[in-house]
Every structure is written in structure tokens, then in C-alpha cells.
Structure 1
Amino acid sequence: MNIHGIEIDDELYKHFLQFLSDSEIDALFLSITRPPRRYYIRVNTAKTTREELIGRLRARGVTAYPDERFDDALWMPVEGPFKIPTARKRVVVDKKAAESVMMGADLYAPGVVKTDHVRRGEEVNVVSDNGVVVAFGVAVSDSDEVMKTRRGLYIRVETSLYKTPKIRDLPEYRDGLFYSQSLPAIAVGHVAKRAGAATAVDLNAAPGGKATHLAQMDMRVVAFDRSWPKIERLKREVERLGLAGNIDVILHDSRYVDRDFPRLRADLALVDPPCTDIGVRPKIYHRVTMEMAKTLSRYQLQFLKTALKIASNVIYSTCTLTYIENEDVVKKSGAVPADVGLDVGGPGWGCPECRRFLPHVHDTPGFFIALLSRR
């Protein structure tokens, strides 16, 4: 069935019906197609203070507000939705590019699926590969050159469905003064801080948000990922943020670190494994089946069981909303849930110590956090 462009099968729908009503499921999936009203960044407190960064951003015309709960979080309002002007030319882009462009990002060549013949200076509509018009902009390169080289900026976006400040163009970003990160993901770092850990292992570290957050809190972090491109991106983030002294980055399948690194021990482990991504916002479209969720839950449990062998406390988090990938994985791990100590989000489904962030209730990305201890 298709709910506001989010396709799920009957079995997964019935799975959600165990915890939500029909109207709640509809509201949930509608909210996934829209961004939260707040766009969050995390202040890199290893390099600056929140007050200093607010001042520097405002001097550049970017208004940022301090979060009410976390002392290293800032947010900026998300504007929209806007009416997109109509252009004669169209550029079709993939899902990932469309979801970025609809928030105001410019379009780069790698995201283009196909394009009309466009000359530099011509107006175009940027359209997702399922037909949704996400932006209006002006070409800064000829289409022939873009499709030949598949590199560089193609469309400078002037009007998008939604708008956030283009903060990655700022010197403060290049200088590593902040990291773009959602509120629930920032919350994970504060759960780790309250746990009193001095050392941590991140089993699913790329792109680096949680590992670098712990590092800027002066924790010593070992960061694993099995993908070489992701490891390279993680290393770039660590360098940009100036945190190389606190993080060791290792290319490895972390499901087996207890076997391959038998001496590895830490106060805390982070597990944020691959998931069905239902909570990521905004989405142009998405397709998930119950079988996909079941397969991923088995994969997630492997990471979690390994983490519990190398650390006495583990933070398990996902950016999805199914019970089978969240509370059920926690239950099957045999670990003991502890109170995460957060006053944001809501209790888990059948796990009051856990924390769930529901997009239609909390206006955040969908997210799950559990703090676990070995029995």
C-alpha cells in the first residue's frame, strides 16, 4: 500500500497497527514526506562556544537559536513549502539528490538522471525521478558538459520546496566549528556523556556524527566502518573538526571485532546499524517491506551482541520506527535497558526506559535510543 508516497506491504502495516491507530499511521507517514520545522547543527565545542558561533553566524545573516535542552545544539527555522515557478526545461534527478535539493541545496552533476538540452544561464525545473518538482533554478554549466564529465555544480537553486540556510558554504563550516546533525542524534551523545564514559567504540561510525560528538567531549573513541568510501569520508570529517587526536578510525566489519581485536575494551559502545530508514526526513518516496525489516533486525542483533562483549554499557540507536528493529532487537539481545535520562521524545513501545522520537508527535526525524547494560 502507498501512504503519501511511502510504500509498505500489508504485513508491515499490520505490524504498525499493533502500536498505532490508522489515523496515527497516516499522520506518521505524511510527516515523513516533510522536514521538521527546525534544522539542527551541533557546535564543535573543541573549537568554539555556542555563543561565539551564534554571533559569527548572525554576522553572516544566518539566525541560529540555542536549543532549550542541549548546550551544544543550535537550530535554524525551516521555511516552506513554497510554490515552485514553472520553467520550460527539466532536469530529472535521483532520490537522494531530490531530497537534498528540495531543502534548498544546489544540484551537482552526480545526482542527474537525465536532462533536457540546457545552456548555461537557462532556467530549469529540478524534478525527482518519480515526477515531483522539487526546485527552480538556473544552469551554471551546459548540459552536454555536465553529462560528459559527471562532475561539478550544474543548477544553482533559486526556489525550492523548503528552505534552510546554505551553511555548508560558510567559512565556519570549513573551519570545523559545527556539524549538521539531527536533534535525536545529538541526544545520543548526551546519553553517552551522562553514562560517564572515558573510552568508547563506535561500531557503525560513518559518517562520523556520533563518534566526533563523543571525541569533542574528550572521550577516546575507536571508530569502525566496513566501507572504504565511508571511512574516507569519516576521516575527512575528523580532520575538519580537528578531532584526530581523540579518534582512531579503522576499516573493519565490526560484527567481528570481538574475535579480530580480542583485547579491545571500552567503557561504552555505540551501535547505530543499517536499518530501514523509515524515520529519515524528508522523503520523496520510500519502499519498505516486513521481510526487509526482519532481515535487517537479524543483522542489527549481530552488531549489538558484539558490542555487549566489548563494553559493559551500549547505546543502541536507529533512524527507523519499526518495533522489530528497535525494542525487539533490544529484547533479543538479553541486555538490561537503563533509563536514558532524556526529557525529549517519548517512551519506547513496551520499553519505558528506551526513547522513541515520532515525527508526527515530536516534529523530529523518526529515531530510537536505548541504553543497555550486560546482565
Structure 2
Amino acid sequence: MNFYGIEIDYDLYKHFLEFLTDGEIDALFKAITTPPPRYYVRVNTSRISANELVRRLNARGVPAYRDEHIEEAIWLPVQGPFRVPTARKIVVVDKKAAESVMVGADVYAPGVIKTERVEVGDEVNVVADNGVVVAFGVAVANSDEVLKTRRGLFIKVEKSLYKAPKIRDLPEYAEGLIYSQSLPAIAVGHVAKRLGVEKAVDLNAAPGGKCTHLAQLGMRVFAVDRSWSKISRLREELKRLGLEAQVDVLLHDSRYLDRDFPRLRAGLALVDPPCTDIGVRPKIYHRVTYKAAKTLAQYQLQFLKTALKIADYVIYSTCTLTYVENEEVVLKSRAQTLHLDLPIGAPGWGCETCRRFLPHIHNTPGFFLALLSKG
């Protein structure tokens, strides 16, 4: 079944129908194909206050606003949709690149799938690999060189479907004052702050959004991930944010932390495991089956059970929307769910103390959040 380019099989459709009407499913998937109207960043409060950062951005003509509920969160408006001008030449990019370009990012060589012969100064349309035109731009490099080296900037985007702030271009980014992060993800740190713990373990730490949030709040964090490339990126973020001293980084499969580090204990563990990513937006297209969700749920439960062995509290979160990967995983863990005291989002499906963020209702990415204890 196809909803605006989001393909799910019939079994997954029936799974959603247990909790949503057909119209709600349609609205949810339509929302996923567009960016949220607010682009959120987390303020690195170890270096600057949210008020001071907003004042600094506004003084330079960058519109920025404090979030109504979370102290470390500020947002910048996303504009669009716009009409994309037509060009004579096209450059085809992969899904990940297209989803960035549609909100105003430039085209870099690694994301290019194929291109017509393009010279510096040529006008082009940037097209996703499913044929959706996402932007109009001008080449700043020759296509022959780009395809040969696979490095550097290729197309400077001048008009995209939407326009989001280019956070990485801001001096505040280079100074380590901000971290690009969705509001629901920032809420994880907001919940953690209220627990009053001193030490935390992040079982799925890269690229570092949640563990750096805990670190800036003064917690000592043991950050674990099994991918060397992800660990390298995490270290870069820690250095940029000036939080290296607060975080110990380990390359390891965190499902086995309790076995391999039997003395490891913490007041809090974060579990944000691989999932079907249905809540991430904007999406050019996406394909998910019920079987894939069930398989991932088994994997997610392994992380969660380990976390419950080493920490007093566990925050479980995902960027997906299936019941089987969220409330059902929490239920199977046999942990006690605690009240989040979170003023945003909505109660979980059959779990009043859990929290869900639904794109078509809350204008955020899709997200799930639960606070657990051993009981």
C-alpha cells in the first residue's frame, strides 16, 4: 500500500488500523513527506544560555525563538513549499541526499547517483532517484571531476521545495553552541534531568545527540556504539561541543554490556535502538513491512533488557511509530513504566505513562518515549 510514497505492506496497515482510523493513517503519512514547520536545535547550556543565544541570532537577522516548554530547545522557522524552477539538465541523487536537499541543503559529490554532463555555472534540477524534483541549483564544479573524485561541493542550491536554516553555516555551530536535534529527542534529556542522577550509560550513543545533552547537564556519560565510523563521528561532536571530559566512549555491542562489564552500574541508561524510522521527516519515499518491524522489535528488546540490568532508570525511545517496536517492546521487558511529567506529546497506545509524538497532530517528527524502572 502506498501513501504519498510511503509503502507499507497490508499486515503493517492492519497493525496501524488497530490504533488509527484510515483517515488518520493517511494524514500521518502525508505529514511524514514534509518537514516540520519548526526546525529545532538544542542549546549547549554548558557554554551559553538559551536567552543569550536567541538574542545573538536575532541581532544578526536570524529568526529564532525559545520553545514554550523545554529550556534547552530553540527553534527556527521552516518556509515552503515553493515552486522549483525548471532547468535543462538534471542531477540524480540518492534518497538521503534528496531529503536534505529538499529543505535547502547543497549537493555534495558522495550523494550523486548519476548526472548529465555539467559544467561550472550550469543550471540544474536536483532529482531524487524516484523522480521527484527537489531543488534548482547552479553547478560549482564540473561533473567529470565530481564523478572521478567523489569529493566536494557539486551543486549550490538556490531554490528548494522547502527552506530550513543551514545550521552548519552558522558561527554558533562552529563554536559548539548548538546541536541540531528534534524536539522529541531533546525531551529525552529534559526527562533525564529531572531524575537527578550523576552517571548514565547510553547504549546507542552515536551520533551523540542524547549523550551530549546529558553531558552538558553535568552527568558523567558512558557512551557505547558498535560502529567505528559512528564512534568517530561521536568523538568529533564531543570535541566541537567541548564535552569530551564528561563522556567516556566505548566501541562495543552494548547488548552484552552486563556480561562483558559485570561491575558497570549507572543511575540511568538510554536506549534508542535501530528501528524502522517511520517517524523521521521529511521523507522522499520509504518502504516498511510488518515482518521488518517485528524483527527489529526483537533486537530492540535485547538492548532494553540489558539496560534494565545495569541502571536504576531507563529511557527507551525510538523515531518510529509502530506499536510492535514501542509499547509492545516496553510490555515485553516487564519493567515498570513511570510518569514522564512531559507537557508535550500524547499518551502511548495502551500505555498512559508512555509518550507519543504524531507528525500530523504535533507537527514534530514521529517519536516514542518511555521511562522505565526495574519495578
The yes-or-no answer on 1:25 pairing with 2:41 is no
Q: Which moved more, 1:56-65 or 1:239-248?
A: 56-65
Q: Separation in 1 of the partners of 2:162 and 2:308?
A: 41
**Is 1:263 aligned to residue 267 of structure 2?**
no
Instruction: Name the counterpart of 1:126.
Output: 126
2:157 alignment partner in structure 1 = 157
Contact 2:43–2:179 (8 Å) recurs in 1: yes
Q: Which residue of 1 aligns with 2:10?
A: 10
> AA paired with 2:177?
L
Q: Give the corresponding residue for 2:205.
A: 205
The Cα of 1:106 is off from its aligned counterpart by: 0.6
8 Å Cα contact 2:315/2:372 also seen in 1: yes
1:245 corresponds to which residue? 245
Question: Which residue of the partner structure matches residue 96 of structure 1?
Answer: 96
1:77-101 per-residue CA deviation (whole Å, 9 max, x = no partner) reads: 1100000000001000000000000
**Number of aligned positions between the proteins:** 375
Does 2:228 match 1:228?
yes
For residues 83-136 of structure 1, the C-alpha deviation after alignment (integer angstroms, 9 at most, x for no partner) is 000000100000000000001011100000000100001100000000000000
SS at match of 1:331: helix
Aligned to 1:370: 370
* Cα deviation code 1:318-346 (max 9, x no counterpart): 00000000000000001000001101000
Between the aligned partners of 1:284 and 1:60, the Cα distance in structure 2 is 33
Aligned ranges for residues 177-326 of structure 1 at < 5 Å? 177-326=177-326
CA distance in 1, matches of 2:144, 2:312: 57
Question: CA offset at residue 59 of structure 1?
Answer: 3.2
Give the counterpart letter for 1:188 in structure 2.
Answer: V
Give 1:183 shift.
Answer: 0.2
SS, match of residue 136 in structure 2 = strand
Name the CA distance, whole Å, in 1 between partners of 2:293 and 2:109: 33
RMSD of Structure 2 on Structure 1 (CA):
0.6
One-letter amino acid of the structure 1 residue matched with residue 351 of structure 2: C
Paired residues of 2:321 and 2:368 also in contact (CA < 8 A): yes
| 2-structure distance, mates of 1:259, 1:273 | 19
List alignment gaps of at least 5 residues for structure 2.
Answer: none
Give the letter for the 2:196 counterpart. G
Q: Output the CA distance in 1 between the equivalents of 2:282 and 2:76.
A: 16
- Offset of 1:181 from its aligned partner? 0.3
SS in 2 for 1:354: strand
Please tell me the residue identity of whatever aligns with 1:169. Answer: D
1:370 match: secondary structure: strand
1:340-351 aligned within 5 A: 340-351=340-351
One-letter amino acid of the structure 1 residue matched with residue 82 of structure 2: F
Q: Matches of 1:303 and 1:167 in 2, distance apart?
A: 32
User: Identity, % of aligned pairs?
Assistant: 73
CA contact (8 A) 2:39 2:165 kept: no
Note if contact 2:279-2:367 (Cα within 8 Å) is conserved in structure 1. Answer: yes
Amino acid at match of 1:338: L
Query: Residue 60 of structure 1: CA displacement?
Result: 3.0
State the match for 1:81 in structure 2.
Answer: 81
Structure 1 counterpart of 2:65: 65
**How far apart are 1:55 and its partner, in Å?**
2.2
The AA in structure 2 aligned to 1:14 is K
In structure 1, what is the Cα distance between the partners aligned to 2:11 and 2:167? Answer: 41
- 1:164, distance to aligned residue in structure 2 (A): 1.1
> Following the alignment from structure 1 to structure 2, what is the Cα–Cα distance between the partners of residues 109 and 172?
26
The AA in structure 1 aligned to 2:306 is T
What is the match of residue 330 of structure 2? 330
Structure 2 counterpart SS, 1:213: helix
Counterpart CA distance in 2 for 1:196 and 1:255 is 25
Give the Cα separation in 2 of the matches to 1:352 and 1:328: 13
Deviation, structure 1 residue 177: 0.3
Q: Which moved more, 1:161-170 or 1:323-332?
A: 161-170
1:183-211 Cα distance to aligned partner (Å, 9 max, x none): 00000001101111111000000000000
What SS does the corresponding residue of 1:232 show, helix, strand or coil?
helix
**Amino acid in structure 1 at the alignment position of 2:36:** P
